[in-house]
Amino acid sequence: MSEIKDQATEELLELRTSIDNMDAALIHVLAERFRLTKKVGKLKAEHDLPPSDKAREQSQVERLRHLASQADLDPEFAEKLFSFIVKEVIRHHEQFRENTV
């Protein structure tokens, strides 16, 4: 019994190492994504392009839901996460506009 438990604990540690690697990947992909959206914000502000683009956002949501389904990730969760990230992007855009006005 104790040996089985030890084996389970070892397997748990193995899984946690992989989860930690995935989290590091998430952080770095997100960091890069915000670098890109900051450039978008700057470009839009400089060229007086509209700050939000509903058609673009709608197509992003549809694409992400589709990708999520294919990867066996709940599409509802993917959409909620996308909204969460977009809120942060908008916050950055607003900060940028405030700092440049």
> What residues numbered 43-72 form the site for a copy of itself, per CB under 8 A?
43-44, 46-47, 49, 56, 60, 63-64, 67-68, 71-72
- C-alpha 46/C-alpha 101 separation (Å) is 11
81 scored as a contact of a copy of itself (CB under 8 A): yes
Write the single-letter amino acid at 76.
E
Closer residue to a copy of itself, CB minimum distance, 35 or 54: 35
Assigned token pair, 37 = 């959206």
- Select the residue interacting with a copy of itself from 2, 4, 55, 101 (CB under 8 A): 4
Rounded-to-5 percentages of helix, strand, coil across the chain: 85, 0, 15
Q: Which of 2, 5, 50, 99 binds a copy of itself (CB under 8 A)?
A: 5
